[in-house]
């Protein structure tokens, strides 16, 4: 996934218009970032419907808080911060009040559409993928968020630190811990 | 050689290129001579690749149609925050003040230009009147009213003359209220005005 540059193209103008209440301009920003925001949410909550709902909530909250957005920082980083906070809070609430979601059944990461083709489905349903998602489930939402922001979104440690509002050292140690856990889950496969 | 326990916590950041130069050098030197740590570092890279494949596939399979519309529908129902309403109010006030200031500035500029352009003509015009008044001084009281009427009658013509030729009426002389004589020395012009009655018309 390509990492967007800071306020690229007409982004500053779109943000300014959205800040003044222009819903159409904000719609362009939603189109631009929706997949990434859904990705952050999905990595933390592991459920497609929840991820979509949380993405929607992320954008609504971003719109409400646009007057507070300082264009010195990256809009995407600011957006990821909102998404990660909402998803982590959601996951914590769910942890305290677990809801039956049929997690024994097919999980979101394995539930891929048939239009992707049999070979793709075969890869996606592979043992490696299954183990990976099991290991991800064992991680805390904070560890999941940090590894997703690094591995999928390609954020630097400083950017992750800004998104998750934690020290750089914490980012480093969380990443190391998460990678060790995932490595442990894949160990036998890698050796095979 | 540095101990593996000292290097392992740095391997993740080493792969991400997030170590400072002294630590980077230390890890690189260690990896060159330690196959265990080198394997662990390679495993971290593999984890990253598998994770990206899995998550990107999962995210790209999610149908996003309608998300934008749903967000727009929700924000259209939002009442703007107090702060953003205050900001918009300030902007509106600012725009109104700017427009008023622009109009006022334009009006002042026009007034100033008008004054600058017309002042010499006004002086000339006034000077003409002074001569006229001076010239009419010796006129008998009985003829004063008639001369005033005459002066009023010639005023438009005089104004036109001033505007057209920028002539200066240096003298206006006449003992007869029905006759007026203008002299314009610069253009060496003399104008004699006769009333209709005097000319017999």
pLDDT tens per residue across all 192 residues of chain A: 444 444 555 888 999 999 888 889 999 999 999 999 999 998 888 889 999 999 999 999 999 999 888 877 789 989 999 999 999 999 888 765 444 343 433 344 444 444 444 554 455 457 788 888 888 888 998 999 999 899 988 899 999 999 999 999 999 999 999 999 999 888 766 554
Q: Cα dist. A78→A52, A59, A165 in Å? A: 19, 11, 11
Is the ipTM of this structure higher than 0.90? no
**Interchain CB contact of A147 with B (< 8 Å):** yes
Instruction: List the single residue in B with minimal CA-CA distance to A169.
Output: B13
The pLDDT score that the predictor gives to residue B128 is 64
The pLDDT score that the predictor gives to residue A157 is 95
The pLDDT score that the predictor gives to residue A102 is 39
A63-70 contacts: CB < 8 A, separation 24 or more?
A: A63/A18, A63/A26, A63/B71, A63/B75, A63/B78, A64/B75, A64/B78, A64/B81, A66/A15, A66/A18, A66/A19, A66/A26, A66/B84, A67/A19, A67/B81, A67/B83, A67/B84, A67/B87, A69/A15, A69/A19
Structure tokens of A120? 């793709």
pTM of the model: 0.58
Residue B62: pLDDT above 80?
yes
**Interchain CB contact of A157 with B (< 8 Å):** yes
The pLDDT score that the predictor gives to residue B12 is 93
The pLDDT score that the predictor gives to residue A132 is 86
**Quick one: average pLDDT of B118-132?**
66
Contact at CB, A42 and B59, closer than 8 angstroms? yes
**Reported confidence tier of residue B152, pLDDT bands at 50, 70, 90:** low
Report which of residues B36 and A5 the model is more confident about.
B36
Measured between CB atoms, which of B58, B67, B84 is closest to A30?
A: B67
Q: How far is A87 from chain B (nearest CA, A)?
A: 15
């Amino acid at each position: 996934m390509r990492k967007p540059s800071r306020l690229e193209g007409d982004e500053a103008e779109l943000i300014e218009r959205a800040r003044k209440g222009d819903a159409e301009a904000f719609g362009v920003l939603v189109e631009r970032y929706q997949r990434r925001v859904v990705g952050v949410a999905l990595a933390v909550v592991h459920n497609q419907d929840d991820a979509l709902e949380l993405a929607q909530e992320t954008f609504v909250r971003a719109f409400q808080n646009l007057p507070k957005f300082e264009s010195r920082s990256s809009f995407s980083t600011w957006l990821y911060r909102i998404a990660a906070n909402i998803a982590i809070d959601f996951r914590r609430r769910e942890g305290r009040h677990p809801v039956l979601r049929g997690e024994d059944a097919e999980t979101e990461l394995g539930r891929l559409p048939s239009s992707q083709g049999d070979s793709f489905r075969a890869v996606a349903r592979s043992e490696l993928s299954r183990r990976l998602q099991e290991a991800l489930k064992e991680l805390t939402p904070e560890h999941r968020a940090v590894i997703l922001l690094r591995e999928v979104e390609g954020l630097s440690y400083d950017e992750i630190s800004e998104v998750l509002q934690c020290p750089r050292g914490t980012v480093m140690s969380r990443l190391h811990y998460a990678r060790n856990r995932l490595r442990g889950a894949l160990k036998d496969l890698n050796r095979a | 050689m540095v101990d593996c326990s000292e290097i392992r916590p740095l391997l993740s950041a080493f792969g991400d290129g997030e170590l400072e130069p002294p630590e980077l050098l230390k890890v690189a030197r260690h990896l060159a001579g330690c196959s265990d740590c080198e394997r662990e570092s390679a495993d971290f890279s593999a984890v990253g690749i598998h994770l990206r494949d899995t998550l990107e596939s999962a995210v790209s399979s999610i149908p996003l149609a309608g998300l934008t519309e749903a967000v727009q529908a929700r924000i259209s129902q939002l009442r703007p925050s107090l702060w953003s309403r205050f900001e918009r109010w300030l902007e509106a006030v600012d725009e109104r003040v700017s427009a008023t200031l622009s109009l006022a500035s334009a009006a002042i500029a026009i007034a100033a230009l008008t004054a600058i352009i017309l002042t010499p003509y006004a002086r000339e015009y006034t000077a003409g009147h002074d001569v006229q008044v001076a010239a009419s001084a010796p006129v008998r009281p009985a003829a004063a009213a008639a001369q005033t009427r005459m002066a009023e009658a010639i005023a438009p013509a005089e104004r036109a003359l001033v505007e057209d030729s920028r002539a200066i009426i240096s003298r206006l002389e006449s003992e007869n209220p029905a006759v007026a004589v203008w002299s314009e020395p610069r253009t060496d012009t003399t104008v004699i005005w006769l009333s209709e009655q005097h000319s017999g018309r």
